[in-house]
Amino acid sequence: MLEVFIFATLNGLVTGLLLFMLASGLTLIFSMMGVLNFAHASFYMLGAYFAYSISSYLGFWTGLLVAPVVAGFCGALVERYGLRHVHKHGHVAELVFTFGLAFLIEEIVQFLWGRDTKNYQQPELLDFPLFTLFGQEFSAYRGFMIFISVAIFIGLYYTLTRSRIGIIIQAAITHPHTVANLGHNVPLIFMGVFGVGSALAGVAGVIAGPVLTTFPGMAIVLGSIVFVIVVIGGLGSLAGAFVASLLIGLLQSYAIASDVGMPDLLDLIGVSFERSHPLNDLWTLTLPQIAPILPFLLLVLVLIFRPTGLLGKREE
């Protein structure tokens, strides 16, 4: 029981931190431009695929360094030549544009790399168990994933709050015109933030690719969860995104690890139903079965009772 709990916590942590890497980039971009970038998870996918190709020739570590840069560069291009152009047509147009972009990127990936699953392997250096507990190994690679995620979070935090560029970015988020009046190149800042956000997603792809498998559907699978996180945490709040990511990661992990379900609840009340009962599917529902839809359930609940999210700012 304890081992299940410990590993469930560790697994939840790994997932949650990975999700945060994605959610942080999305939150930054949203704070900056007010647009929820549907194609954000696509840069995650691009990061994984670029890293796969690079690592096939130059090794995993080169991939880790180069792939996010390429992904970020693509992001910057998208902002400069795509989003900026669409911006003047309104928020709906921007959203729809990023939606179309996500679709297009998935098709381009299939065109360039094919439709099958890519054999993107973990680096041999990390192919050993970090520790073994109750007969189950916790691989060093996952420890590495946690390490990178935390490092990025710390780096992001310090850059945004302590460095000069970070202060300018924070100012540009709330007062773009004033910052422009002070002589800063705000469009360049926008492009940079978009690029960095996409690069962050790319890093997530590079390290998650070997673990979550690299295939053309990988953006869809994570994309909607990341949205849910950003909204639950509160649009525009980085700390909210962090809390929500960990919450969802741990919640899903615990839900799957448990064996609890409706039958237990019914037993508690002392009620039972026949197999032929019309709502039989509901009475036999178990927590692991609904684990993947828990984030959406949470989303709907949060949006009904607290539309600004857990740590969100007031509505404008």
Partner 1 sequence: MNTSPRNLLASISIAAATALTPLTSQAQEPVRIAFMDPLSGSFASIGTSGLRQIEYAAEYFFNSRGGILGGRPIEIVPLDNKQSPTETQLQFQRAVSEGIRIIFQGNSSAVANTLSSTISRHNRRNPGQEVLQINYSAVDPALTEEECSFWHFRFDAHAIMKLEVLTDYIAMNEDIKSVYIIGQDYSFGQVVADTSIAMLQEKRPDIEIVGNEFHPIGQVKDFTPYVTKIVASGADAVITGNFGADMVSLARSIIDSGLRIPIYTFYAAYDGITATLGEDAKGLVYLVHNETSNPIPTEERKEFIRGFKAANPDKDVTQPRIYNALRMVVEAIEESGSTDPYDIALALEDRRHTTLSGEEIWMRGDDHQIFQSLHISVHTDEGVEFDADNSGWGLFSEFHVPAEETIRETSCRMRRPRR
Partner 2 sequence: MLTRLIPWIGFTAALLILPLLFDSILAISVLNQMAIAIVFALAYNMLLGQGGMLSFGHAVYFGLGGFMAVHALIMIEYETVYFSVTLIPLVGGLFGLLAAIFIGSFSTRKAGTVFAMISLGIGELIAASSLIFVDFFGGEAGVSGDRTFGPLFFGVDFAQNVEVYYLAAFWVLVATLFMYLFTQTPAGRMANAVRDNPERAEFIGYSARRVRFISFCASGLFAGIAGGLFAMNYEFLTEENLNAATSGRVLLMAYIGGLGYFIGPIVGAVVLTLMNSLLSNYTELWMLYLGIMFVLTVMFLPRGFAGFIMMHQMAWYHGKLRSLFIPYLITGLPALIAVLGVVALIELAHTQEELLHFLGIPLSPSSAISWVVVITVTAVAVNATRRSLGQLKKAWEFANEAAMGTRE
- Contact residues for partner 1, defined by CB under 8 A: 3-4, 7-8, 11-12, 14-15, 110, 114-119, 121, 129, 132, 134-139, 141-142, 211-213, 215-218, 221-222, 252-253, 256-257, 259, 288-289, 292
Q: How far apart are CA 201 and CA 42, in angstroms?
A: 8
Residue whose CB is less far from partner 2, 14 or 29: 29
Find the shortest distance in angstroms from Cβ 17 to partner 1.
13
Residue nearer to partner 1 on the CB measure, 46 or 109 = 109
Nearest to 9 by CA among 1, 224, 223: 1
* Residue 137 contact, options partner 2, partner 1, none, Cβ 5-8 Å cut-off depending on partner type: partner 1
Binding-site partner at residue 175 among partner 1, partner 2, none, CB < 5 to 8 Å by type: none
In the complex, the smallest distance separating the C-beta of residue 224 from partner 2, rounded to whole angstroms, is 6
165 binds, among partner 1, partner 2, none (CB under 5 to 8 A by kind): none
Q: Of 116 and 274, which CB lies nearer to partner 1 in the complex structure?
A: 116
Distance CA 38, CA 43 (A): 10
How many Å apart are CA 190 and CA 29, to the nearest integer? 8
Q: Which amino acid is at 228?
A: V
Nearest to 43 by CA among 156, 189, 205: 205
Interacting residues toward partner 2 by CB under 8 A: 36, 82, 85-86, 89, 91-93, 95-97, 99-101, 103-104, 106-108, 110-111, 224, 227-228, 231, 235, 278, 280-282, 285, 289-290, 292-293, 296-297, 299-300, 303-304, 307
The DSSP secondary structure of 99-152, one letter per residue, reads HHHHHHHHHHHHHHH-SSPB--PPPGGG-SEEEEETTEEEEHHHHHHHHHHHHH
Closest approach, Cβ 136 to partner 1, in A, equals 4
Task: Specify the residue, 19 or 169, whose C-beta has the smaller distance to partner 1.
Answer: 19
CA dihedral 91, 93, 95, 101 (to 10 degrees): -150
- Cα–Cα distance between 150 and 158 in angstroms, integer? 12
DSSP assignment, residue 312?
P
Other Cβ atoms within 10 Å of 143 Cβ, number: 16
Q: Tell me whether residue 64 or residue 238 sits nearer to partner 2 (CB atom).
A: 238
Identify which of residues 137 and 259 has a Cβ nearer to partner 2 in the complex. 259
